[in-house]
Structure 1
Amino acid sequence: METLLSKHWHHLPSDEVAVLLESDDTKGLDRFEVTHRQQHFGSNQLTLKQGKSPLVLFLLQFHQPLVYILLAAVVITFVLQEWVDSGVIFGVVLVNAIIGYIQESKALKAMEALAHTMEGSATVVRAGKKERIAALELVPGDLVLLQSGDKVPADLRLLRSRELQIDESALTGESVPVQKQPEQLSLETILADRSNMAYSSTLVTYGTGAGIVVATGNNTELGHINTLLINAEALATPFTRKINHFSRILLWVILGLAGLAFLAGWMHGEPLLDSFMAAVALAVGAIPEGLPAAMTIMLAIGVNKMAHRHAIIRKMPAVETLGSTTVICSDKTGTLTQNQMTVQEVYADGKHYEISGTGYAPIGDIYLEGSVIDLSFHPVLLECLKTGLLCNDSRLFQKNDTQWSIEGDPTEVALISVAIKGGLSQNTLEYMLPRIDTLPFESQHQYMATLHAVNKEASIIYLKGSVESVLARCDKHCSSDSEMELLDRDRIHREVEAMAAKGLRVLAFARKKRLTPNQSISHADVAEGLCFLGLQAMMDPPRREAIAAIKTCQKAGIQVKMITGDHIVTAAAIARQIGLDGIANKNLDHFAINGHMLSNLSDQELIAIAQKIAVFARVAPEQKLRLVEALQAKGHVVAMTGDGVNDAPALKQADIGVAMGVAGTEVAKEAADMVLTDDNFATIEAAVEEGRTVFDNLIKFITWTLPTNIGEGLLILVAVFLGLTLPITPVQILWINMTTAILLGLMLAFERKEPGIMTRPPRHPGAPVLTRELGFRIGLVSLMLLIGAFGFFEWALWHGKSIETARTMAVNMFVFGELFYLFNCRSLRHSMFKIGVFSNYWLLLGVTTMVLLQILFTYSPSMNVLFGSAPLEVIEWTFILSGGLVIYSVVGTEKWLRCRTEGCKGS
């Protein structure tokens, strides 16, 4: 029995399936056999990966190099009995740990949400009796009955079906319900085309059926996805990886310099305690205490901005990752398209009609050769549209002035919409031609027919369906001149082929007049003798805003790829309309590939072609995961969109997973980093733009803050090597670092996006956090801060000033040097006059507050006692402000010269 569970059930005849599973296709399993199998196979539920305990998960948040540095600062300031500073730094560490813990805990809910999708009940036949049981109790071999509204409780091989339709979009990505039938299929049939199977957690939308359970729990297709989801690697963001690497280097540099300072002091004959305090001062000065808080706050601001642009960020680092994205893998239905079927072309009476307007809203016109038509002068077109309206079980309702809602099949609703555009009314026609009887759509017949009363003596049959089934029943072609025109099947097939090449779904329409008032209709009545009316071709049209967004992404150097459950021809046609990369070539093989082709590629072959192909159609869940991994293997930062259960593993594996908020499943949302509240690709483009802005501002902050830390460390190191008194104390260093980080540096988070931000190429994933250009600038400013602070300290002592006054000058040189440098960091390439002096009011507020605090630091008696500061005279302030102005001028000149030599376009 165990080996049978891996069989290709879709390839076996239905009667053979029951025999292999030792079951009965009418009576089901016996009671004792059910008990035996429950003990053997266990419950029909997914098993969850054993996770870490909450305590371990929380403690792991401290396992980061940058956090080690901050914890060291906590210990040092605690030893120095600086309770406030110690508490503030520890508070920053604790808040970061709590945020990280919450984010990781939420991510783990994806597996739990997936497990819950299998909960529910099922109708089974056991020992010949029909009963309702919990889905958890199902075993392989159980006979399950399905009807409209049911959730499929396990993987079933269908034995019988009547008009059965199942919505498999969450599993396969197919945009419309799938017609099911029990006939045997070929071995190579892919998951999305297995019409004789019903898969766990999909939804029955219409009809009835019966199937035998072939897989439960972890052995189902859903269980397979669960395994992929558990094993998918949750990657750190590019910026997080770089910051961790940067932090590890910084950790060893700080420890090395602190040890060097201690050794130098000891060799100069200083007391061990004084040498230790010098080492502590250097370590405290070099630690960028404000960096984690700044990162968290800047990301939080980005989260808030994105929420206003219909993007909900579930994991804060995803904000920055968006700015690094090099490839966006997007679902088609509802994201790149409107998820509303729309008739775009009609062929009737040998003429081609074009339809304007998109979506279900019946707003638009019918055109012939560029001119709007009057339907009354086109009788065959009128009859074709009337057939689509009357041979129809769906409804279109207007909710308000701008919104329309549907009831029924999207394809049928599209027929209603185009008929209303032509001036027809469904209610009026149904009153004039009341329906007498119906032949509902069945997969084996591929058509639907309705019988309508014309008067007491005559009736008429309207029929719609696939081109093949309708043409087989027609022997003439309706025309405005004569109904007896011979049917040119070859011409119609050419028309159908031309429409299908555009990705249009084509339906054929016909009628048959009867001179009898019969009250019923049978399949024999429509077997022959019908008059062909025409073709209606429809598709789910692309979103206009998505087309513009794709162009913007391509200008920004971001590849956009379509991954869909739809057929390759439909997908390629939409891809051409929205302008995906490489679509100019008409050869499908050059830009599109389907799931069957993918399954035949090795990993190396897939890696080689993944970035060249723009369209991936009819792909299975594991293939989506492989695609993401293949692109990442090429060094790409991948954003993946999805809405179904089948998308969850790829969403988790991607550098940033983007779930659909409207049509998305809870499993997809829990596995994603970001949720779109409007399911619109244009929102992704807006989020990428916001992500680039956040990254820019983070780099601005790092470029701004590091000179303070490096300058302070160098100042201590120079003093120790020269055997001089420390120009600034550890407590004063903490004052500089914490106040300037909060009141000055954090204000850079409110800088607006710079011009041309979406015309830059994406940052290379392997590029360092800081470029050589910025490294040079950081070194230059660090050196100027060192010279200014050390020079003013020595000048004060030379002129007989107290040590407190000298240190106060050094502290203010750092603060005001950073303040003037802050205006240079508002843009890393342009001057503040180009981006707008008053465009960041928060920065001006922070600068004003910082100036007031420094006045208190300098002149308040309590602050003088607490921090060892002293009042300054006007001449001393003149030196300090002049030093800050020099820093601003030198950096401004350096930026201007670099722009002259390298150019500043696009940034």
Structure 2
Amino acid sequence: MAVEHAWARETEEVLEALGVERGTGLSAAQARRRLRRYGRNRLRETRRRSAWLILLAQFKSLIIVLLGVAAVLSYAFGDWLEGTAIVAVICINAAIGFATEIEAVRSMEALRRMGRVTSRARRDGRLAEVPAESLVPGDVVLLEGGDLVPADIRLFEASRLQADESALTGESLPVGKAAAAIAADTPLAERGNMLFKGTSITRGSGEGVVVATGMDTELGRISSLVAEAEDETTPLEKRLDRLGRKLVWVTLALTAVIAGLGLAKGHDLLLTLETSIALAVAAIPEGLPIVATIALARGMRRMARRNTLINRLSSVETLGATSVVFTDKTGTLTENRMCASLLALARGEVALDPARGLLLDDRTVRPDDLPGLAQALRVAVLCNNASYDGPGEGPGEGPGEKGGADAQDGEDGDAGDGGGSRGTGDPLEVALLAAGALGGFTREGLAATLPEVREEAFDTETRMMATFHEQDDGCLVAVKGAPEAVLAACSRVVDGEGETPLSAQAREEWNGRVKRLAGQGLRVLALAHKTVADRSAPPYEDLALLGLVGLLDPPRAQVREAIEATRAAGVRVVMVTGDQILTAKNIAKAVGIAHDGVRTAEGRELKAPEDLSDEERERLLDVSVFARVSPKQKLDLIALHQAAGEVVAMTGDGVNDAPALKKADIGIAMGRRGTQVAREAADMVLKDDAFASIVEAVAQGRVIFDNIRKFVVYLISCNVSEIASVALASLAGLPLPLLPLQILFLNLVTDVFPALALGVGQGGPGIMRRPPRPQGEAIITRRHWLAIGGYGLFITVAVLGSLAAAIHGLGLHGREAVSISFLTLALAQLWHVFSMNAKGSGLLRNDITRNPYVWLALLLCLGLIAGAVFLPAAARVLGVVPPTGNGWLLVLGASLFPLAAGRIFKRMARM
């Protein structure tokens, strides 16, 4: 900032420090010099992932690296066909992952809204249209309703000026602005003499001097936090990395042991190397990267059809592990628009329901049914400068999508009311017009009989607004404003007896009602009127009180049901907002996050994580509502929960949410209301802004992880059987039951398609009725390794048993005997897919037998195996000889043994 603590200095002092005259502004020469000194008024663009980086990221998995090593070894020993097949696998996997992620990048680009922002600034004593990015500290800028704030500006003149700062601070209501200096330690959200880059003007006009541009603005500082926040490696990436490391060591150990034993026994060197390569190939689940990528890509596309964009494939699964969701309030849980919810009159409180109209004790009433109701609604419409076009189509579909902060730095936007009702002007006044419309009052209709002849604009001293309207017996004065100000100006109250004096006791009762409504998190306005002889009468004397209007930013539809569903799934929802505590608590109660005994905390209570005691840390981990929280404190809260072992998702739509979106394990931004900064920082974007979509995303994440676990167990148990078959045969002096190219055929063909079928399963009905997985839980737990060992043992027994039976029972040797063991293994691995059914499911009707892709995979694989046996060219490459009738019976019987043994084992182990 060119002037430190500009808000705490008088305007003359600020202008002097910047070397500028208020009436003339900067000269063209001064502007050029300062532009060279401070740089252009724009934020550093977030570094976007290029196509090359996305492509290279597909090769960073340890399993892919291991496959690359196996390919090099194959080429080194002259196995060109085998090496080429492995390279093909690597390329196919990379192509699938690249195509899916680049599609997400293009979808994100489609959300960008391009435009050019200009500002009115004084240059050389004249008003000029200056590109926003050319503004410099010292420029004198003029702003009015509808303008976007191009830089951080210290006001020296403000007329009824209000700004929408929700994208920056989280405050849902427009903030009134004035020019007077304030204390140096005033929080950002309360700096009433400052306008901030990325916000928008909702009403009034003002003039001020630019004190900070580009990365020196408050928006720029938050942008820096986004850049500093490190991208977190997702749990799936960590798990696959750990699995890859284990496979590396297993492969190296097995290869070394078998090679050493072979050489020690005096085996032929070439045969020993061939066996070692066969083991290395068998140890690597070549199909794992492809199946994992396709499973994630399918989940990603399934979510895209539900208006949810995912930036990284691995983020899909991470959603399923989410244990805590941090959610912003404004625009995420609420609609980011004001709505009049009740009208408190002397004789009762009338609920204002957009669907049902005016309700008293849950029954519909007309304006004339209750004393003061018609007059109150009339004043709400008359004392008003907004326009109202009727109810909107729902949150985010009207003109008020949060565009102010989006439009900073070269993007356009609309600073409207947030979408729920169509109108322009101050959101509070639009809400009052909507309330009047429920009673049949419109500005156009009233203007015909009560034309406005004078207005007393709202100002910060009186905290009231008045309009004078000509009528037969003089003028009707309509007044609205802060309850304490209006009550002080009232001497009478409208009740069932007409107008009665406002006694001290009645005044105290009304003050109590104000406190009660404010305690419910409502913004409260008072309405009053009087009749005077002419337009010259003072507006704020001897008023008759009509009632109080309670306004709120209403919860979004279906949010409560979505939060209940996340709680049923064992996922905590925590509200983190920059708004005040009372408003936050009441919205939290309305949507089901909080109840009366729930713990809350404000930003001033928070310390850096390293400064917290164990007791303070435990207390903060139990808090469900955080209010008045800064962007930096959001980062600290996420780090605190991550350190406690939680997988954290963060939802948000404003610029103030962006650093936390990037820091969280899963950042979830809103597509319609979300600012560009927030969308680029997030892992996931809800195109329809529906919080309820998160529940579906969590469910899909869990289904995907379960599917990944199933096909990993399937693939590795198949690989274990191959390793064990080759290793045991080698140690026992038997001929190799499988050749390296046969192993590769199994791993790339007959294993992959059943694994793919497992990877696209739909999941069980109870997926959202169980708690999330522990963060550190591996893809393969001890229980799963036990299952892998058991399944692998049964298949190995079948393979070696069929080989021995072929040699000693059928008198087969060489390729004929190896063909029996190869086909036994191929079919046993196919039938093995039926052992992957969910725990507790039926023997014949379960998630596997109901999966049509499983049956399709089996038919396809049987066809490929038949081709490998009966097509001469394929049989010659693979070294396969078609068995005789007895050979086929041996193959079929031996291949079914592991399935039957596995079923018994699974039931006994309760797996």
- Verify same fold: TM over 0.5: yes
- 1:77 Cα offset (Å): 4.3
1:469 to 485, 499, 519: 485
Moved more, 189-198 or 650-659: 189-198
Moved more, 779-788 or 362-371: 362-371
1:406 paired with 2:399, answer no
> Counterpart amino acid of 2:455?
T
1:416 paired with 2:424, answer no
1:561 paired with 2:574, answer yes
Q: Is the 8 A contact 1:114 1:226 kept in 2?
A: no
Matched residue, 1:210: 207
Matched residue, 1:773: 783
SS in 2 for 1:20: helix
Partners of 1:240 and 1:600 in 2: how far apart? 29
Partners of 1:14 and 1:238 in 2: how far apart? 53
Q: TM-score, normalised by structure 1?
A: 0.91
Matches within 5 A, 1:413-812: 413-425=430-442, 427-455=444-472, 457-487=473-503, 488-516=506-534, 518=535, 525-580=538-593, 583-585=595-597, 591-598=599-606, 603-604=611-612, 607-798=617-808, 799-812=810-823
Partners of 1:426 and 1:578 in 2: how far apart? 34
Matches within 5 A, 1:246-265: 246-265=243-262
Instruction: Give me the identity figure in percent.
Output: 36
SS in 1 for 2:342: strand
- 1:837 Cα offset (Å): 6.2
Q: TM-score, normalised by structure 2?
A: 0.90
1:332 paired with 2:350, answer no
Partners of 1:8 and 1:113 in 2: how far apart? 39
Partners of 2:192 and 2:357 in 1: how far apart? 37
Deviations 1:501-528 (A, max 9, x none): 1111111111111244x4xx6xx62121
Deviations 1:667-687 (A, max 9, x none): 211211111122122111111
Matched residue, 2:370: 378
> Counterpart amino acid of 1:491?
E
In structure 1, runs of 5+ residues without a counterpart are 903-907
> Counterpart amino acid of 2:667?
G
Q: Is the 8 A contact 1:398 1:405 kept in 2?
A: yes
Matched residue, 1:181: 178
1:394 paired with 2:387, answer yes
**Cα distance 1:95–1:626, how it changes in 2: closer, same or farther (>3 A)?**
farther
Matched residue, 1:880: 891
1:860 paired with 2:871, answer yes
**Cα distance 1:60–1:405, how it changes in 2: closer, same or farther (>3 A)?**
closer
1:321 paired with 2:321, answer no
Matched residue, 2:356: 364
Matched residue, 1:905: none
Q: Is the 8 A contact 1:111 1:667 kept in 2?
A: no
**Cα distance 1:163–1:260, how it changes in 2: closer, same or farther (>3 A)?**
same
**Cα distance 1:400–1:691, how it changes in 2: closer, same or farther (>3 A)?**
closer
Aligned Cα root-mean-square deviation (Å): 3.1
1:825 paired with 2:836, answer yes
Partners of 2:214 and 2:848 in 1: how far apart? 63
1:843 paired with 2:854, answer yes
Q: Is the 8 A contact 1:637 1:655 kept in 2?
A: yes
> Counterpart amino acid of 1:461?
V
- 1:212 Cα offset (Å): 1.7
Moved more, 4-13 or 384-393: 4-13
1:140 paired with 2:137, answer yes
> Counterpart amino acid of 1:474?
C
**Cα distance 1:725–1:235, how it changes in 2: closer, same or farther (>3 A)?**
same
**Cα distance 1:719–1:898, how it changes in 2: closer, same or farther (>3 A)?**
closer
Partners of 1:117 and 1:599 in 2: how far apart? 40
**Cα distance 1:333–1:739, how it changes in 2: closer, same or farther (>3 A)?**
same
Q: Is the 8 A contact 2:158 2:179 kept in 1?
A: yes
**Cα distance 1:862–1:100, how it changes in 2: closer, same or farther (>3 A)?**
closer
Partners of 2:280 and 2:394 in 1: how far apart? 66
Q: Is the 8 A contact 2:578 2:627 kept in 1?
A: yes
- 1:397 Cα offset (Å): 2.5
- 1:568 Cα offset (Å): 1.3
SS in 2 for 1:124: strand
> Counterpart amino acid of 2:604?
H
Partners of 2:519 and 2:33 in 1: how far apart? 54
Q: Is the 8 A contact 2:827 2:895 kept in 1?
A: yes
- 1:143 Cα offset (Å): 2.0
> Counterpart amino acid of 1:341?
M
Q: Is the 8 A contact 1:122 1:134 kept in 2?
A: yes
Deviations 1:189-216 (A, max 9, x none): 2212222111112222322211222222
Deviations 1:276-332 (A, max 9, x none): 111110111111111111111000110122123331212211110000101101122
Moved more, 29-38 or 339-348: 29-38
Partners of 1:342 and 1:109 in 2: how far apart? 37
> Counterpart amino acid of 2:827?
F
**Cα distance 1:857–1:116, how it changes in 2: closer, same or farther (>3 A)?**
closer
Deviations 1:851-896 (A, max 9, x none): 2222222333232212111222344333433344333333333443
- 1:53 Cα offset (Å): 9.1
Partners of 1:668 and 1:107 in 2: how far apart? 16
**Cα distance 1:464–1:106, how it changes in 2: closer, same or farther (>3 A)?**
farther
Q: Is the 8 A contact 1:748 1:826 kept in 2?
A: no
**Cα distance 1:830–1:548, how it changes in 2: closer, same or farther (>3 A)?**
same
- 1:395 Cα offset (Å): 0.3
Partners of 2:548 and 2:161 in 1: how far apart? 25
**Cα distance 1:117–1:211, how it changes in 2: closer, same or farther (>3 A)?**
farther
Q: Is the 8 A contact 1:607 1:634 kept in 2?
A: no
SS in 2 for 1:835: coil
Deviations 1:119-159 (A, max 9, x none): 74332224433333333333322222222333222211111
1:16 paired with 2:28, answer no
Moved more, 569-578 or 52-61: 52-61
- 1:66 Cα offset (Å): 1.4
SS in 1 for 2:495: coil
**Cα distance 1:781–1:278, how it changes in 2: closer, same or farther (>3 A)?**
same
- 1:96 Cα offset (Å): 4.6
Moved more, 217-226 or 97-106: 97-106
**Cα distance 1:98–1:752, how it changes in 2: closer, same or farther (>3 A)?**
closer
Partners of 2:688 and 2:231 in 1: how far apart? 25
- 1:898 Cα offset (Å): 4.5
Q: Is the 8 A contact 2:608 2:636 kept in 1?
A: no
- 1:27 Cα offset (Å): 3.1
> Counterpart amino acid of 1:333?
T
In structure 2, runs of 5+ residues without a counterpart are 398-419
Moved more, 672-681 or 128-137: 128-137
Partners of 1:618 and 1:633 in 2: how far apart? 23
